[in-house]
Amino acid sequence: MTDIRSQALACRDAAHAVAALSSAAKAQLLNDMAAQLLADQTAILAANAQDLEAAREAGIGPAMLDRLLLNPARIAGIADALREVAALPDPVGQLTHRDVRPNGIVVERVRVPLGVIAMIYEARPNVTADAAALCIKAGNAVILRGGKEAIASNQAIAASLHTAMAAHGVPAAALTIVSDLRREAMLELLQLTDIVDLAIPRGGEGLIRFVAEHARVPVIKHYKGVCHLFVDAAADQGKALDLLIDGKCSRPSACNALETLLVHRDIAPAFLPQAAAALRQRGVELRGDAAACALVPGMAPATEADWDAEYLELILAVRIVDDLDAAIAHIQRHTSDHTEVIATRNAANAESFVAALRSAVVMVNASSRFSDGGQLGLGAEIGISTTRLHSYGPMGLEALTVERFVVRGEGQVRV
Amino acid sequence: MTDIRSQALACRDAAHAVAALSSAAKAQLLNDMAAQLLADQTAILAANAQDLEAAREAGIGPAMLDRLLLNPARIAGIADALREVAALPDPVGQLTHRDVRPNGIVVERVRVPLGVIAMIYEARPNVTADAAALCIKAGNAVILRGGKEAIASNQAIAASLHTAMAAHGVPAAALTIVSDLRREAMLELLQLTDIVDLAIPRGGEGLIRFVAEHARVPVIKHYKGVCHLFVDAAADQGKALDLLIDGKCSRPSACNALETLLVHRDIAPAFLPQAAAALRQRGVELRGDAAACALVPGMAPATEADWDAEYLELILAVRIVDDLDAAIAHIQRHTSDHTEVIATRNAANAESFVAALRSAVVMVNASSRFSDGGQLGLGAEIGISTTRLHSYGPMGLEALTVERFVVRGEGQVRV
């Protein structure tokens, strides 16, 4: 048997032990994991220094070095995140439906853990602890396949978490760090349909496409966020401008940042020049259609590719549309199914916009930057799905469980 | 562009029209589809006669000929099924959560259609109408790829349903019958990740494995149901016998029929000989472990393969277990994640059984034969999932939708 298969089988066997933990036991375990990480800080920092040195020798750039870096403040942040997960409500055992059938059987639907979750990610060692905490909180075992740049850090974090798990009688295999980091081993992990219930890739679009294209196990992922803001004729212009600036400028590298602005032609002459000035003041480059360029001197003309671009930087595509229907048609054509926003004081237009679009998150008069598990009240976020299956939009603990049926009777039979 | 891709693209474009229908419009459409089927009975029966003749010429056996056969009573049955789906509650638009965040944004989770569903099935023409009705009721467009034996029947049924759809302004492409029935075309359909949101195979294990192994689009399926009944020491013996006979004998070919009986050793001497006699009277062949064989003269010895067998006929595997934990361990090892039953009057044992097992349906003192969408109150069943993602167990209309986020604010921004 290959290493990866035997590691995964051990993880699956350990899943029963995690699923059997009570809510109180899981909360205590996660708090103990947080304390243990702080207690093991010296060993974790030493392992991280080893990763950093190897990365520097390999000529890795400053952005990835920073993602890889741990220090006491970052370890404290990881421990805090574990304690926050510990304090969240336990989704396992939640009763979602209850029905008494005419024959008297009581049919309940109750959340159970998914089983074994494989996380595929890149160089951030904090994901190791975060993802483990969320999976365990939802009663799952987890297989973690991080980037090879972070392997010493990841193993040191896992060793620390294993210490806390052992004190709770949870086998170390319930939190498995993949030891074979060759690409062939990752491919094999993604074929283990009899073991892995769900794979979640986190990282750049290249990694996500690789996982989605090669996996036979179910994958939940999002490729990109081409988020739209439509400023309706009936918008409050001051609020629309706030939404625009927050959406584009507060964190342009986030997938919930705005990439395209659609403006109703009736409000465009009043709104767009002012909005363009405010954006330019903040360093935003604008690329518009002909009508937009006519209203804003010096705006660069947009090409067809701009309507599908996820810039992830201070660039914004701008288009004037004839009406609400034209805005909806544009979004339907170019949506990434992530997040769309309408700014309007017209309630009927707002509801038409919500009804016509099937993106994961649709907002009325609220910033696209709220499209985030924490902001939407999920408590934490394991990932985002733009696939309309199982989970759609930001995924919290509930997305790491599934509803099943529990039926109680008094000997009823069908025939 | 290939035929299959252009058909699928047209179906995706038509999905917006289905998603835009109100609940009342969908109910009326489905009732009109039922009436139209009855009105077009002559044409449908003529097409079916053509399929039957070709099948007879091809030397197809009586079981498949019967599945293929339509007659006025069966068409009336299909129309009734459409009317039942029409009368079900609409899952689209259902509000599942609502939360006002500290900053005042109102976060709702609301069900939306999946989009485009591909049904892959065999020779039963009734699936064409059933599946179309369920998909449309949940706001989806549907691509139907039935067996080539039923192609004329399926096209005649679709033509009839298209007549009703046209009167409601719904494009025919929203209900697409795959015209290219070559296996390569099915393979291509299963790769269309940019178009097909979900594929549901219905039929024998061979078809389902083919679809699951070749699809890149998400697939929901179940391979088999190896359903267990555990008769606890504290069981009511009369009720346990009722559950056993109903589970094994009422429809042995169904996936929710019992395949394995586990009996607590303390009750086995009293229960098993009597149960064996009752089963044998109904023609059931028993295959037991050594302890069971010792209690029932003439029982054939079970081999290891019997514990994993889905017989789908009048055969039952029987094992004596030492206690509840041994029953749970046996099921955990041999489960197909379909349905497990405990017969007991001990409430603590019942809850331990429910908690320890993660099968899609777990029953206490109720027949495994209730593991069915209609019996569990889902109103109808599009399929069964034994995969712990999106839907687990019998799937009704809700499984053809997904929850997304709708956020309403008054101009709130994040920063």
Name, in order, each residue with C-beta under 8 angstroms of B295's C-beta and a sequence gap of 6 or more: B268, B269, B272, B273, B276, B320
| Chain A environment of B367 (Cβ under 8 Å) | 409, 412-414
Q: What's the CA gap between A317 and A310, in Å, rounded?
A: 10
Alpha carbon of A288: minimum distance to chain B alpha carbons (Å): 24
Alpha carbon of residue A307 to chain centroid = 23
Q: What's the CA gap between A392 and A402, in Å, rounded?
A: 14
8 Å CB contact between B170 and B15: no
**Beta strands at B141-145 and B285-288: parallel, antiparallel or unpaired:** unpaired
Eight-class DSSP state of A374 = T
The CA-to-CA distance between both ends of chain B, in Å, stands at 47
Closest partner CB to B370 (pick from A197, A365, A414): A414
pLDDT tens for each residue of B27-80? 999 999 999 999 999 999 999 999 999 999 999 999 889 999 999 999 999 999
Q: Which residue has the higher pLDDT, B61 or A339?
A: A339
Alpha helices in A20-169 (DSSP H): 23-39, 41-57, 62-68, 72-87, 126-137, 151-167
User: Can you read off the two tokens belonging to residue A52?
Assistant: 């950093």
Residue A300 burial (CB count, 10 A): 13
CB-count burial class (<10 Å; 0-12, 13-18, 19+) for B326? middle
What residue type is B384 in one-letter code? Answer: I
Q: What is the mean pLDDT of residues A199-227?
A: 91
| Residue A300 bridge partners (DSSP) | A287
Q: Are residues A377 and B409, on separate chains, in Cβ contact within 8 Å?
A: no
Residue B98 burial (CB count, 10 A): 11
Question: What is the count of residue pairs from A and B with beta carbons less than 8 Å apart?
Answer: 214
Q: Are residues A363 and B404, on separate chains, in Cβ contact within 8 Å?
A: no
Q: Which of residues 11-30 of B touch A (CB under 8 A)?
A: 16, 19-20
Instruction: Check residue A396 and give its pLDDT.
Output: 95
Q: Are residues A407 and B250, on separate chains, in Cβ contact within 8 Å?
A: no
Q: What's the CA gap between B216 and B191, in Å, rounded?
A: 5
Q: Are residues A366 and B409, on separate chains, in Cβ contact within 8 Å?
A: yes
Q: Are residues B366 and A407, on separate chains, in Cβ contact within 8 Å?
A: yes
Mutate to test the interface with B, among A106, A214, A335, A370 (most CBs of B within 10 A): A370
Q: Are residues B404 and A361, on separate chains, in Cβ contact within 8 Å?
A: yes
Residue B207 burial (CB count, 10 A): 17
Residue B324: pLDDT band (50, 70, 90) is very high
The CA-to-CA distance between both ends of chain A, in Å, stands at 47
pLDDT tens for each residue of B224-247? 899 999 999 999 999 999 999 999
pLDDT of B362 > 90? The answer is yes
Q: What's the CA gap between B364 and B367, in Å, rounded?
A: 9
**Which residues in chain A are classed under CATH 3.40.605.10?**
3-220
Q: Which fold has domain B3-220?
A: Aldehyde Dehydrogenase; Chain A, domain 1 (3.40.605)
Q: Which of residues 205-244 of A touch B (CB under 8 A)?
A: 212-213, 216, 218, 236, 238-239, 242-243
- CATH architecture designation of domain B227-376+385-389: 3-Layer(aba) Sandwich (3.40)
Work out the angle between the directed axes of helices B23-39 and B151-167 (0-180°, nearest 10).
Answer: 130
Instruction: Check residue A140 and give its pLDDT.
Output: 98
Q: Which of residues 174-193 of A touch B (CB under 8 A)?
A: 193
Residue of B nearest to A19 (CA): B356
Residue A204 burial (CB count, 10 A): 10
**Beta strands at B258-264 and B95-100: parallel, antiparallel or unpaired:** unpaired
Instruction: Check residue B2 and give its pLDDT.
Output: 81
User: Can you read off the two tokens belonging to residue A132?
Assistant: 């483990």
Q: Are residues A413 and B246, on separate chains, in Cβ contact within 8 Å?
A: yes
Residue A123: pLDDT band (50, 70, 90) is confident
Q: What's the CA gap between A28 and A22, in Å, rounded?
A: 10
pLDDT tens for each residue of A71-87? 999 999 999 999 999 99
CB-count burial class (<10 Å; 0-12, 13-18, 19+) for B56? exposed
The DSSP code sequence of B139-169 is T-EEEEE--GGGHHHHHHHHHHHHHHHHHTT
| Residue A412 bridge partners (DSSP) | B366
CB-count burial class (<10 Å; 0-12, 13-18, 19+) for B124? buried
Q: Which of residues 363-392 of B touch A (CB under 8 A)?
A: 363-367, 369-371, 375-377, 387-392
pLDDT of A205 > 90? The answer is no
Percent of chain B with pLDDT over 90: 93
Alpha helices in A215-323 (DSSP H): 237-249, 268-281, 290-295
Work out the angle between the directed axes of helices B237-249 and B268-281 (0-180°, nearest 10).
Answer: 40
8 Å CB contact between A240 and A365: no
Alpha carbon of A156: minimum distance to chain B alpha carbons (Å): 31
pLDDT of B380 > 90? The answer is no
Q: What is the mean pLDDT of residues A176-191?
A: 95
pLDDT tens for each residue of A139-159? 999 999 999 999 999 999 999
Q: Is B345 on the interface with A (CB under 8 A)?
A: no
ipTM over 0.90: yes
- Pick the closest to residue A29 from A109, A83, A105 (CA basis): A83
Percent of chain B with pLDDT over 70: 100
Q: What is the mean pLDDT of residues A230-257?
A: 97
Q: Which of residues 252-291 of A touch B (CB under 8 A)?
A: none
Instruction: Check residue B349 and give its pLDDT.
Output: 98
pLDDT of B223 > 90? The answer is no
Residue B203: pLDDT band (50, 70, 90) is confident
Q: Is A107 on the interface with B (CB under 8 A)?
A: yes
Residue B379: pLDDT band (50, 70, 90) is confident
Q: Are residues A408 and B363, on separate chains, in Cβ contact within 8 Å?
A: yes
Mutate to test the interface with B, among A106, A338, A358 (most CBs of B within 10 A): A358
Q: Are residues B392 and A402, on separate chains, in Cβ contact within 8 Å?
A: yes
| Chain B environment of A343 (Cβ under 8 Å) | 411
| Chain A environment of B20 (Cβ under 8 Å) | 355-356
Q: What is the mean pLDDT of residues A3-23?
A: 95
Q: Is A115 on the interface with B (CB under 8 A)?
A: yes
| pLDDT mean across residues, chain B | 96
The DSSP code sequence of A129-176 is HHHHHHHHHTT-EEEEE--GGGHHHHHHHHHHHHHHHHHTT--GGGEE
pLDDT tens for each residue of A63-75? 889 999 999 999 9
| Chain A environment of B366 (Cβ under 8 Å) | 105, 407-409, 411-412
Percent of chain A with pLDDT over 70: 100
Alpha carbon of A316: minimum distance to chain B alpha carbons (Å): 18
Beta sheet of B227-231, edge-to-edge order: A95-100, A106-113, A401-412, B361-366, B339-343, B227-231, B258-264, B315-321, B285-288, B300-301
Instruction: Check residue A221 and give its pLDDT.
Output: 86
Q: Is B405 on the interface with A (CB under 8 A)?
A: yes
Closest partner CB to B370 (pick from A105, A245, A393): A105
Alpha carbon of A129: minimum distance to chain B alpha carbons (Å): 24
Q: Are residues A362 and B407, on separate chains, in Cβ contact within 8 Å?
A: yes
Residue of B nearest to A104 (CA): B366
**Which residues in chain A are classed under CATH 3.40.309.10?**
227-376+385-389
pLDDT of A415 > 90? The answer is no
8 Å CB contact between A354 and A321: no
8 Å CB contact between A239 and A343: yes
| Chain B environment of A412 (Cβ under 8 Å) | 365-367, 370
pLDDT of B257 > 90? The answer is yes
Q: Give the CA count within 13 Å in the CB-facing half-sphere of B138.
A: 27
pLDDT tens for each residue of B68-127? 999 999 999 999 999 999 999 999 999 999 999 999 999 999 999 999 999 999 988 999
Q: What's the CA gap between B175 and B53, in Å, rounded?
A: 26
pLDDT of A203 > 90? The answer is no
8 Å CB contact between B111 and B120: no
| Chain B environment of A236 (Cβ under 8 Å) | 411
Alpha carbon of A328: minimum distance to chain B alpha carbons (Å): 12
Alpha carbon of B374: minimum distance to chain A alpha carbons (Å): 10
Eight-class DSSP state of A297 = T
pLDDT tens for each residue of A347-401? 999 999 999 999 999 999 999 999 999 999 998 899 999 999 999 999 999 999 9
